[in-house]
Amino acid sequence: MSTKKEYREIINLEPIVLYKKDLLELENIIVQDKEADKLTIDIKHENTTYSANTIDELFLEEDLPLTCNRFSLSMNKWVDKNIISGVYISLNFNHADFQLNSSDSTWYYGKKHQIKDFFQKRKPWYSFMIKIYTWFGGFSMLFLFYAAYLFSEDKYISMILPILMFIILTIAFPLMQKQLIFPYIKINTYDKKKTTIGLNEVSLVIGRATNNNPNS
Task: Tell me the CA end-to-end span of the chain in Å, nearest whole number.
Answer: 92
Looking at the fold, whether 105 and 16 belong to one and the same domain comes out as: yes
What residues are paired with 34 via a beta bridge? Answer: none
The answer to whether position 98 is within a domain reads yes
Mean pLDDT along residues 1-17: 87
Residue 47's alpha-carbon distances to 71, 124, 210, in angstroms, are 14, 27, 56
Looking at the fold, whether 89 and 144 belong to one and the same domain comes out as: no
Cα dihedral 73→27→19→40 (10° resolution): -30
The answer to whether position 40 is within a domain reads yes
Cα dihedral 141→145→148→149 (10° resolution): -160
Structural domain of residue 36, as residue ranges?
Answer: 7-120
Strand order in the sheet with 16-18: 16-18, 185-188, 67-68
Q: Which of 98, 120, 142 is the last residue of a domain?
A: 120
The answer to whether position 216 is within a domain reads no
The answer to whether position 37 is within a domain reads yes
The answer to whether position 12 is within a domain reads yes
Question: Percent of the chain, pLDDT > 70?
Answer: 88
Rounded Cα distance between 92 and 82, Å, is: 29
Position 153: which residue type? Answer: E
Of 4, 15, 199, 22, nearest in space to 101 by CA: 4
Looking at the fold, whether 48 and 79 belong to one and the same domain comes out as: yes
Looking at the fold, whether 158 and 134 belong to one and the same domain comes out as: yes
Of 85, 43, 74, nearest in space to 185 by CA: 43
Looking at the fold, whether 105 and 24 belong to one and the same domain comes out as: yes
Looking at the fold, whether 92 and 33 belong to one and the same domain comes out as: yes
pLDDT in tens, 71-95: 999 999 998 888 889 999 999 999 9
Looking at the fold, whether 134 and 116 belong to one and the same domain comes out as: no
Looking at the fold, whether 110 and 165 belong to one and the same domain comes out as: no
Looking at the fold, whether 114 and 133 belong to one and the same domain comes out as: no
Classify residue 61 by its DSSP letter.
Answer: -
pLDDT band at 202 (very low <50, low <70, confident <90, very high): very low
Above 60 in pLDDT, residue 141?
yes
Looking at the fold, whether 110 and 159 belong to one and the same domain comes out as: no
pLDDT band at 203 (very low <50, low <70, confident <90, very high): low
Looking at the fold, whether 12 and 113 belong to one and the same domain comes out as: yes
Looking at the fold, whether 93 and 147 belong to one and the same domain comes out as: no
pLDDT at 85: 93
As for how many domains the chain has, the answer is 2
The answer to whether position 213 is within a domain reads no
Rounded Cα distance between 24 and 46, Å, is: 23
Of 141, 132, 131, 135, nearest in space to 165 by CA: 141
Q: Is 144 helix (H, G, I), strand (E, B) or coil?
A: helix
